[in-house]
Structure 1
């Protein structure tokens, strides 16, 4: 529970979210949005935790803590993985792509979060939806100094269907040790914990 509380603290202390205007215009996102029903309203923040609000969206706790979305993605060696393979750790699953401007801006702070907290109890699982897979992600990681994050790949975009409703990219999903979805943060955020004054 301590790592879950610390992760929640990182989320709550994160800087205001970036504007979400960037990635909803891609054809794949339009198709996913068309097939999506309107998201349910966010449930109230659990007692004892302050509400985390960004400029456009809030961290929305998921009612009833259902099982995390089930889909297959790949590691850099092409091995098939699922979120269930990481049961026992708290996961911050981030769905992103190199063509998504807010995703690109968010990635260095996710890398810092993994460098600071990643280990046996916690992992940032940043899953690229780029159709080119590793041939697009590896040069992006190299050019942007992304060293702590492992390159996880979903070139078939199976996560788009499994994680509905998905308003666009990036979207982060917090998953507890039992593999249940705690909540979501649609749009980019600064995960470094710096606060911006209003």
Structure 2
């Protein structure tokens, strides 16, 4: 009788240990893959895109007005891209991580650019001529030149440094962002873009 009781206690302890291990595993997974927003504990999801993480907001965030210049020196704004999903990459020619990821942005744009999607590579270099020579040096074929010579956009979107990349939906809202270089033509990154493209545009 005593042996049976001890054996039964042993199984109970083993079962409880298994439950604790599972709960601890789930906690660690959620802790590593999500962070709480300040609003009501809503979860924002951190998604692995190769060797980088993309933080996807639970709800797309409204962005303040943003304007910069194109290759012709014309002022363009975020509103000019309404109806198009854009990947806004804030970068600089002097930034080594930017140099690392720029070819993948070009490959992504070559594959996916069209009326529904565009990579907007926004340079914060004060001398816009540096971008043209940079594109030639790294054989960048499809990216247009966009310039924020006053570096105001970085402050407006609260980019802590370069590169910072925002995925923006058709309504001009931020879906999420990545800080640091990423492989933007990876399957994981393209899946993020596909999800943004499949999201129906809102009326009004």
> Fold match, TM over 0.5?
yes
Distance 2:123 2:68 in 1: 9
CA contact (8 A) 1:68 1:83 kept: no
Task: Point out 4+ residue stretches in structure 1 off by more than 4 angstroms.
Answer: none
Residue 129 of structure 1 and its aligned partner are, at CA, apart by 0.3
RMSD, matched Cα: 2.1
Deviation at 1:64, TM superposition (A): 3.0
* Structure 1 unaligned spans of 5+: 1-39
Name 1:74's counterpart in structure 2.
69
1:163 aligns with 2:163: no
Measure, in 1, the Cα distance between the counterparts of 2:157 and 2:112: 25
Q: Secondary structure at the match of 1:110?
A: helix
- Partner SS, residue 115 of structure 2: coil
1:111 to 106, 117, 131: 106
Larger Rg computed on CA atoms: 2
Instruction: Name the one with the larger helix percent.
Output: 2
Q: 1:53 and 1:119, CA in 2 relative to 1: closer, same or farther beyond 3 A?
A: closer
Counterpart selection for 2:94 from 96, 99, 105: 99
**Which protein, 1 or 2, shows the higher relative CO under an 8 Å CA cutoff with sep ≥ 6?**
1
The normalised TM-score by structure 2 is 0.67
Aligned partner (choices 53, 57, 60) of residue 58 of structure 1: 53
2:183 aligned residue:
190
Determine whether 1:152 maps to 2:150: no
Give the aligned partner of residue 4 of structure 1.
none
Q: Which structure 2 residue ranges, 5 or more long, are not aligned?
A: 1-36, 189-204
More strand by share: 2
- 8 Å contact from structure 2 (residues 165, 177) kept in 1: yes
Cα distance, 1:122 vs. partner?
0.2
TM-score (norm: length of structure 1): 0.69
- Three-state SS of the structure 2 residue aligned to 1:64 is strand
Q: Out of 65, 88, 91, which is 2:83 matched to?
A: 88
Residue from 131, 137, 140 that aligns with 2:131: 137
Contact 1:113 1:191 in 2 (8 A): yes
Task: Give the count of matched residue pairs.
Answer: 149
Displacement of 1:69 = 4.2
Q: Residues of 2 paired with 1:117 and 1:70: CA distance?
A: 26
